[in-house]
Amino acid sequence: PQGGEMGMGGMGNQHMDHDDVAALDSSSGDNELNIPPVLKSDSTEETKYTVRAKMGETEIFDGTKTQTYGYNGDFLGPVLQFEKGETVTINLINELDVGTTFHWHGLKIPGEADGGPHNVIEPGEEDTIKFEVTQEAATLWFHPHPDGDTSEQVYKGLAGLIYIEDENIKELDLPDDYGKNDFPLIFQDRTFDEDKQLNYDAVMNEDGTVGDVSLINGTVNPKLTVGQEKVRLRLLNGSNARNYTFKMNTGDTFAQIATDGGLLNEPVEMEELTLTPSERAEIVIDFSKIDDERDVALVNDSDDILLPFEVTDEAAAEIDIPDKMNQFSVTEAEKDLPVTKEVELFGMMDMVTINGKKFDPERIDFTQERGVTEVWEIYNKPDMMGGMIHPFHIHGAQFKTLSRDGEAPPRNERGWKDTISVSPDETVRLAVQFNDKGVYMFHCHILEHEDNGMMGQIKVE
């Protein structure tokens, strides 16, 4: 089990039982939440960004500097905005002292620009990618993906967000005033040593590294000041391994409006919501309906306080979240398709495999034709210790969840997804289609499992 004294050599040899993960310290609410900057285009005529991976120093705790990594800054990264239909150019610069890649998680992008383990940029080198944005409005993210070194680089701070906009979302009445009633929340858990440093090697766990310190957008002990209005929160589980279950400490419900890859057809009222690593969800909390005499906070399933809210009496124009937001559907033809790809997730620690094999950059595991939908069946095979949830992710695509153990997925999963949690002994069926050609990864998004080879490759032709 997790917790207790940490010996030399860290926790690398302890199996991560997810029912028994170290508790998170509750936020004292001392610090106003950091809101990431929105990256400006290098050009007024076209969307052109420069993204630099760099080393930095960040005052996470008052009076001490923590060595961190960041994109275009010391820690984490800016928000990149794309518009459906436009062509985007990104100049990628590696200012780290190790090789890295720039992976666009959830983006439909040609394989050579996807930033998988084959696209390493060496220290001091740069590269340029150019692609067309073909998918609908969504909140995606970007992070490094070098073979065997993803977990450490993300742990040190390499992660940023991508917002895609389209015509549909601009017409809808949704909270969309960035930093006012529309906030990104990147949830991560970390362990700091006595000198308040992130010593990855000392705390690394082969089964997924967790920490006791909760950071949101890199802020420790955060609070968020909001008005008495509907507020949209774009949640990203950006942790290496921890599952987060979100709920309100008041017992109030919230509305989920989006999944990983786009808006749900209609808002889904939720009492709680679980996101496994790399999953996103957008939720709307109506602070005009919550009794502001009480302390309002977003908490996890152990009632640890993640984000306390300070509700001002500022009231804003009433926003009516529309009942019809999108046109997502699973067709009869898709429901009738036979299973043509089988994926078996198995193992723990450094013995994790997919279909009995570990990642081999020289081996192509599957092929699929672009534009053709295939049904992938993902099975999480339990082991002697019962097994654990694996968040299964596919690059270069957004998929539809057809079923969980033969049943229709819950209402809040009836939307585009790129990562799906698969519980021990559970079978999940996905309808998967790729837009572009290239070699793409599919893997468990517990980053240490990914680095330990719980990853395969599909060649799209």
Site of interaction with ligand C2O (CB under 6 A): 103, 105, 143, 145, 278, 393, 395, 441, 443, 445
- Footprint of Cu ion on 367-396 (CB under 5 A): 390, 395
- 155 Rama class: left (phi>0) / alpha (psi -120 to 50) / beta: alpha
What is the H or E stretch that residue 431 is in?
strand 427-432
Q: Which is nearer to Cu ion, 325 or 430 (CB)?
A: 430
Q: Which is nearer to Cu ion, 308 or 347 (CB)?
A: 347
- Residue 242 is a binding residue for Cu ion (CB under 5 A): no
- Residue 446 is a binding residue for Cu ion (CB under 5 A): yes
CB of 192 to ligand C2O, least distance (A): 24
Q: Is 337 strand, coil or helix?
A: coil
Residues near Cu ion (CB under 5 A), total: 6
Q: Which is nearer to ligand C2O, 260 or 374 (CB)?
A: 260
CB of 359 to ligand C2O, least distance (A): 11
Both structure tokens of 204:
């690394």
The pair phi, psi for residue 393, each rounded to 5°, is -125, 140
CB of 445 to Cu ion, least distance (A): 8
- Which among 185, 282, 273, 272 is positioned nearest to 232, based on CA atoms? 282
- Which among 370, 444, 172, 124 is positioned nearest to 282, based on CA atoms? 172
Q: Which is nearer to ligand C2O, 103 or 108 (CB)?
A: 103
145 touches, from ligand C2O, Cu ion, none (C-beta below 5 to 8 Å by class): ligand C2O
- Residue 21 is a binding residue for Cu ion (CB under 5 A): no
Q: Is 151 strand, coil or helix?
A: helix
Closest residue to ligand C2O, Cβ-based? 105
444 touches, from ligand C2O, Cu ion, none (C-beta below 5 to 8 Å by class): Cu ion
278 touches, from ligand C2O, Cu ion, none (C-beta below 5 to 8 Å by class): ligand C2O
Residue with tokens 């997502």: 328
Give the C-alpha separation, 297 to 304, whole Å: 10
CB of 395 to ligand C2O, least distance (A): 6
Give the C-alpha separation, 422 to 388, whole Å: 9
- Residue 445 is a binding residue for Cu ion (CB under 5 A): no
Which part of the chain contacts Cu ion (CB under 5 A), choosing from 158-166, 222-230, 369-377, 441-449? 441-449
CB 151 within 8 A of CB 451: yes
449 touches, from ligand C2O, Cu ion, none (C-beta below 5 to 8 Å by class): Cu ion
Cβ-Cβ contacts under 8 Å for 153 (sequence gap 6 or more)? 69, 96, 98, 100, 143, 144, 146
- Which among 7, 54, 325, 399 is positioned nearest to 170, based on CA atoms? 325
Closest residue to Cu ion, Cβ-based? 444
- Residue 449 is a binding residue for Cu ion (CB under 5 A): yes
Residues near Cu ion (CB under 5 A) are: 105, 390, 395, 444, 446, 449
